[in-house]
Structure 1
Amino acid sequence: MIRCAALLLCLLCSPAHAATAEAVSIPAAGFSSSPTDLRAQLFKPDTPGPHPAVVMIHGCGGAYAKDGSLNARHQMWGEYLAANGYVALMLDSFSSRGLAEICTQKFSDRTIKESDRVGDTYAALSWLRQQAGVKTDRIALLGWSHGAGVTLDAIRRQPKAIDKGFAAAVSFYPGCTNRNKKADSFKPYAPLLILIGEADDWTPAAPCVELTSTARAAGAPMQIHTYPGAYHDFDNPGVTRVRLRKDVPNGVNPGQGVHTGPDPEAREDAKRRVLAFFAGQLK
């Protein structure tokens, strides 16, 4: 009886209509350097549209877990955004290029840079604008780590083939060190929010704080929020503890590894901030 009651309580506390992702194909021609069309997973609200939309772009670990399923972070965010009235498109930049992950590669050995993936985001933007039920002028970009760097590049480089770019962007723990060296030239064309942990030893927070300060002083619509004690990957619900990844050759201390892991309090705060930010820019 106790087990039955516990099961009932669990069912009652579960989301009533968790969004199911639909596999879609995004034409690369005209925007992306990908040799073939891009794979993506589409999350839709279960309420009548049209809805604002978000293009999500993964980090150096790729979009998928080892078993081929969408990884826990991207699944969580796709469901969360759809449950709150957004069409969410989880874009895969790697599989069409024959890549699984690049986290364990030195920067100098990587065959794909953040700048190489900017075209992927605009291919996704163009595709979404052709879909029924999407508010074509209310589409944002959301990226993590390597994808967060892609986001920073994309939000200041609108292709000539696009009449209007993204309406807003959120960047989770991007690499800002090199960008901060040329901070005067960093001018996002749409509102941009950076979220990053102060303990991040993979992509440190300080250069992002400085970059934001310089951009804001020049009038750019940019803001940042940092989380004390939080590391890289702090919003990932698929891991239970912080760990030292010695297989990552890059970071603040090259060769010594980097710390990654969850911070549940920071994750929940970030979810609220992202929702409030998008509500202000997209609805």
Structure 2
Amino acid sequence: MPVQAFAETVDQRIARLEPHYVVRHPQNTDAKTPVVIMLHGCGGPRPFIEDMADAAASAGATAIVVDSFAPRRISRMAAFATVCTGARLQGRERAGDLYATIAWARRQPWADGNRISAIGWSHGSWTIMDALALRTGEEMRRATGLDDLDGEPLEGLAATMLVYPYTGVGTYAGHRNWRITPRSTAIIAQRDYIVGSSRAALERQRARGAPMEILLFENATHAFEDEQAEDPRVRYNSAATAREQTLLREMIEAL
């Protein structure tokens, strides 16, 4: 198992991540709100994710966009060469960012700690699924580099969205039971030539007890929301993007 290069506490990880959080609150409310944590793909944060954060806020949730690269000084080009190839920051290590962000969110006066959800795109979905599959204790601490993890770090996680998830070599997808079973929606892009087919792994995960709806977006590519994508295998699809935003709103309403 890959091991984090150095160990730190949850609070130290929060201190590195927090300056780079993008937080969107719903308007005109003093009540505690549900929380949606957003995890970018292996290419790093993209403008469409902030659009999704705005959609979440309009649906009544507070969105937290997590940048896993800025604290580690990983540029977009370096990410393509190392993260997208699996050489650096695999999902089980990055799971520590999700654990730390949930811990941070639960401390905030505006957050309903029992109505937390997470959405991840590609590598972000890998992160969510590995975060659910890691075994508590020493394995979890070694994988994430968080040496004071104790108990269940995903407490309060009620739902997830897995958008064109990477489920290939190096992931736990379909190979382990999840410690907890949040309601989950997985989106497969029919013309995804980047992560390939993830249906078999997702169906194995569902057979292991994950309450997961698997949806096929016809004629959609990987990163179909990204109008500024440089990869020729990616095509912006406005209808698929609108459908994803609808699913996000429905997830929030069900929290």
User: TM range, normalised to the smaller chain?
Assistant: 0.7 to 0.9
Query: 1:58 — aligned with what?
Result: 40
**1:37 pairs with 2:28:** no
Q: 2:57 aligns with which of 67, 82, 90?
A: 82
Q: CA deviation at 1:34?
A: 5.1
Whether the 8 Å contact between 2:38 and 2:118 is mirrored in structure 1 is yes
Could you tell me how far apart the structure 2 residues matched to 1:117 and 1:181 are? 13
**1:100 pairs with 2:75:** yes
Q: Name whichever of 215-224 and 43-52 sits farther off.
A: 215-224
- Larger relative CO (CA 8 A, sep 6+): 1 or 2? 2
Q: CA deviation at 1:220?
A: 2.0
Could you tell me how far apart the structure 2 residues matched to 1:85 and 1:261 are? 30
Q: CA deviation at 1:224?
A: 1.2
Deviations 1:51-81 (A, max 9, x none): 1001111111222xxxxxxx32112011110
Q: 1:143 aligns with which of 120, 141, 153?
A: 120
In structure 2, relative to structure 1, the CA distance for the partners of 1:176 and 1:186 (3 Å cut) is farther
In structure 2, relative to structure 1, the CA distance for the partners of 1:93 and 1:181 (3 Å cut) is closer
Amino acid at match of 1:104: A
Could you tell me how far apart the structure 1 residues matched to 2:162 and 2:120 are? 5
In structure 2, relative to structure 1, the CA distance for the partners of 1:186 and 1:198 (3 Å cut) is farther
Amino acid at match of 1:194: A
Could you tell me how far apart the structure 1 residues matched to 2:178 and 2:113 are? 23
Amino acid at match of 1:175: Y
Could you tell me how far apart the structure 2 residues matched to 1:184 and 1:119 are? 20
Report how many residues are paired: 229
Secondary structure of the structure 2 residue equivalent to 1:155 = helix
Whether the 8 Å contact between 1:54 and 1:141 is mirrored in structure 2 is yes
**1:219 pairs with 2:209:** yes
Unaligned runs of 5+ in 2: 1-6, 137-148
Amino acid at match of 1:170: M
Secondary structure of the structure 1 residue equivalent to 2:161 = strand
Whether the 8 Å contact between 2:55 and 2:249 is mirrored in structure 1 is no
TM-score (norm 1): 0.72
Could you tell me how far apart the structure 1 residues matched to 2:69 and 2:220 are? 27
Secondary structure of the structure 2 residue equivalent to 1:234 = coil
Q: CA deviation at 1:117?
A: 0.8
Query: 1:131 — aligned with what?
Result: 108
Could you tell me how far apart the structure 1 residues matched to 2:132 and 2:173 are? 16
Q: Name whichever of 90-99 and 268-277 sits farther off.
A: 268-277
Q: 1:195 aligns with which of 179, 187, 209?
A: 187
Amino acid at match of 1:140: S
Amino acid at match of 2:224: F
Deviations 1:62-117 (A, max 9, x none): 22xxxxxxx32112011110111000001111111111231234766733222111
In structure 2, relative to structure 1, the CA distance for the partners of 1:35 and 1:137 (3 Å cut) is closer
Q: Which has the larger radius of gyration?
A: 1
Whether the 8 Å contact between 2:14 and 2:104 is mirrored in structure 1 is no
Runs of 4+ in 1 over 6 A off after TM superposition: 179-182
Secondary structure of the structure 1 residue equivalent to 2:243 = helix
Query: 1:169 — aligned with what?
Result: 160
Could you tell me how far apart the structure 1 residues matched to 2:94 and 2:221 are? 25
